[in-house]
Chains A and B, each alone.
Chain A
Amino acid sequence: MNALIQLIERVVEWFGGLARFCVLALVLLVATNVILRYLFSIGPVSLQELEWHLISPIALIGLSYSMKHRADVRVDIFYDKFSSRKQGVVDLITAIVTIAIGVYICWLGIKYVGQSYNLQEGSPDPGGLPMRYLLKGFIPFGFGLLVLQGVADIMRSILKITEAKVSVELEPNVSVKEVDRGSAV
């Protein structure tokens, strides 16, 4: 089970790397666009469109990534006081409904992308970017990854329920804050 969890999370982490790259690309792209336009009056429509095209992978691939790094927001008034076992049960429910939501949206998303693909949809602006279905494709893809992470979370919460000891080794309880302070990078 541990091996499978690790395999899944390696996949999520790998795509997360792609999204991290998109963050850097976004920062540099927007800044470059601003400077080029101000100084040299250069501003191709395609590069302007690329700006908001980059939000899509950041937001959608980011879903599973933030889930893996426990960067989701929860109301912890009671949760923090629960025993490890009870927390495991809440985590299990969370993982199950996450999978359900992910599968449903993924399925809806595939139809949606298919429609766009059949139209060979591109930007309505001349000079804009083609293949808008790729951009839309991040919806099923991102939620698909979320399902995958949900599977890992199910196994992890089962481990948490059955034996509290495992948690030390796997650090499922690492809070987002510590991760965000860079300890897990």
Chain B
Amino acid sequence: MTGNEWIILGMIAGFLSMMIIGIPVAISLAVSGFVAGYLGFGPLLFNLMPARLYGVVTNYTLLAIPLFVFMGVMLEKSRVAEDMLETIGKAMGGVNGGMGLAIILVGVLMGASTGIVGATVVTVGLLTLPVLMRRGYHPSIACGTICASGTLGQIIPPSLVLILLSDIVGESVGTLFAAAFIPGLVLAVIYILYLLILGLVKPDWVPAIPKEERALTSKSQLFKDLLRNVCPPLLLVVAVLGSIVGGVAAPTEAASMGALGAILLAAFMKRLNRVMLKEVLHGTLTISAMVFFILLCAQPFSLAFRGLGGEQVIHGFFDILPGGEFGAIIFLMALLFILGFFLEWIEISYIALPMFLPVFSNYGTDMVWLAILVAMNLQMSFLTPPFGWALFFLKGVVPPGISIKHIYLGAIPFVILQLCALLVLFNFPSLATWLPKAIGW
């Protein structure tokens, strides 16, 4: 191994050990990046740092973060979300895991309006975790479900991952959007099955609302509650999605319709006032800044990884690349999975994919199918401990008493489910390739 390769290993090890003793994730990333970079190539390359930071804080698509977080905090502060979940829980009757299903549904709907994992995870976490805890859900199961549903937005179009991939593999954005649609839903269905099965095997972990309590609400009352508590927040999601589908707003700016709707909703329920608005702004600012803090501090880390020739290290893996299309795909998937432990998805796709593409075009691999496999794999990287963005983002909003350990443990089953989904897609490429052909995209 060369000197720089040792430094890269040291950088990753340093980052993990700082993180493990409780130094904030963002700070650990920045420190290890700066130190390793300085040892490897000196100070010069860090002159590029402000440009990279500027790129993060002026990234148009990241507008969705404060907008969606605002919507989430507003719904939380006006207790609209709480009422909704309670009502859904009751409406689910004796089905264990019922409220968990609601979360996955919210994840799918929010995923269909944005591709920003940070925005979805914190919003869903903020809205649902306190209620789930009070209702006796196992913290790990609750956290895992939230993180996993939050990452669905990566594969359910519109999605940043798909847009970037379309550029790299040279397929149109529309084709990839259509191709990702069914696999995304399959994934959601797999999550739902998991919760339902869990409800049968371990009912204590995902309890339904007790019979006695449900008995307190009559059928007609429940129906009224459904109308009153579930419709308004659902309308917000419809507003966001509807403004995209109806051609009112582009995907990123659609989040503002949700935010505006949340203000109107709170006002309508007479819960909007000065103090509450200030609290909402405070919550939105701290949570959005928490997400940006990590995104900004990841810049020195990524820059150092590049500057130290991290891509050559990965290129080195090519010497052990097995023969055949099948072998190459398995190898790519395994590599993406491992890189996902410590690199963010943009860096992974920029570094790993362009190297593999010539190999696959030689084999004549279906690029649409491959892109969706990759997208699913990248989505999984948000969930893999110890370094998974979704896990960190959720950690930023969990109520006291839930540690990162709960989140890590909760994520693992979903990572396994993802692997299963990947396997299904691997065996049935038409899941991805059928829809784009059928609708002519």
Task: Find out whether the CB atom of B58 lies under 8 angstroms from the CB atom of A23.
Answer: no
Task: Find out whether the CB atom of A73 lies under 8 angstroms from the CB atom of B22.
Answer: no
A124: min CB distance to chain B, Å: 13
Partner of B296, one of A63, A72, A76, A178: A63
Partner of A30, one of B63, B126, B290: B63
Given known A30-B67, A52-B58, contact A90–B23 (CB-CB < 8 A)? yes
Task: Find out whether the CB atom of A34 lies under 8 angstroms from the CB atom of B253.
Answer: yes
Task: Find out whether the CB atom of B20 lies under 8 angstroms from the CB atom of A185.
Answer: no
Partner of A90, one of B22, B46, B56: B22
Task: Find out whether the CB atom of A27 lies under 8 angstroms from the CB atom of B260.
Answer: yes
Task: Find out whether the CB atom of A58 lies under 8 angstroms from the CB atom of B66.
Answer: yes
Q: How far is the CA of A19 from the CA of B259 in the complex (A)?
A: 17
Q: How far is the CA of A185 from the CA of B285 in the complex (A)?
A: 12
Task: Find out whether the CB atom of A20 lies under 8 angstroms from the CB atom of B282.
Answer: yes
Partner of B49, one of A52, A105, A136: A105
Partner of B70, one of A23, A65, A177, A179: A23
Task: Find out whether the CB atom of A20 lies under 8 angstroms from the CB atom of B50.
Answer: no
Task: Find out whether the CB atom of B256 lies under 8 angstroms from the CB atom of A176.
Answer: no
Q: Which size class do A's interface residues fall under?
A: 35 or more
Q: How far is the CA of A30 from the CA of B203 in the complex (A)?
A: 44
Selecting from B26-34, B305-313, B327-335, the interface stretch reads: B26-34
User: Which residues of chain B are near A58, meaning CB under 8 Å?
Assistant: 66, 285, 288-289, 292
Task: Find out whether the CB atom of A179 lies under 8 angstroms from the CB atom of B286.
Answer: yes
User: Which residues of chain A are near B292, meaning CB under 8 Å?
Assistant: 58-60, 62-63
Determine whether A168 belongs to the interface, using a CB cutoff of 8 Å to chain B.
Answer: no
Determine whether A31 belongs to the interface, using a CB cutoff of 8 Å to chain B.
Answer: yes
Q: How far is the CA of A41 from the CA of B277 in the complex (A)?
A: 31
User: Which residues of chain B are near A87, meaning CB under 8 Å?
Assistant: 22
Determine whether A71 belongs to the interface, using a CB cutoff of 8 Å to chain B.
Answer: yes
Q: How far is the CA of A135 from the CA of B47 in the complex (A)?
A: 18
User: Which residues of chain A are near B405, meaning CB under 8 Å?
Assistant: 77
Task: Find out whether the CB atom of B59 lies under 8 angstroms from the CB atom of A75.
Answer: no
The 8 A CB mask of A137-169 against B (1 = contact, 0 = none) is 011000000000000000000000000000000
Partner of B66, one of A23, A60, A63, A185: A23
Task: Find out whether the CB atom of B56 lies under 8 angstroms from the CB atom of A59.
Answer: yes
| A97 (CB) vs chain B CBs: closest residue | B31
Task: Find out whether the CB atom of B285 lies under 8 angstroms from the CB atom of A62.
Answer: yes
Q: Which residues of B, 224-272, contact A by the 8 Å Cβ criterion?
A: 243, 248-249, 253-257, 259-260, 263
B70: min CB distance to chain A, Å: 5
Supply 18 further A-B pairs (C-beta < 8 A) apart from A66-B290, A73-B294, A75-B22.
Answer: A20-B282, A20-B284, A23-B281, A34-B248, A51-B60, A52-B59, A58-B288, A65-B286, A71-B289, A71-B396, A72-B293, A73-B395, A74-B25, A75-B395, A105-B49, A111-B47, A111-B50, A176-B396
A residues at B contact (CB < 8 Å)? 16, 19-21, 23-24, 26-28, 30-31, 33-34, 38, 51-53, 55-56, 58-60, 62-63, 65-66, 69, 71-80, 82, 87, 90, 93-94, 97-98, 100-101, 104-105, 108-109, 111-113, 135-136, 138-139, 175-180, 182, 185
30 cross-chain CB contacts under 8 A: A19-B285, A20-B278, A26-B67, A27-B260, A27-B263, A30-B63, A30-B253, A31-B256, A34-B253, A52-B58, A52-B63, A55-B62, A59-B292, A63-B292, A63-B293, A65-B289, A73-B393, A77-B20, A80-B403, A97-B23, A98-B27, A101-B27, A112-B51, A136-B50, A138-B57, A139-B53, A139-B54, A176-B286, A180-B397, A182-B77
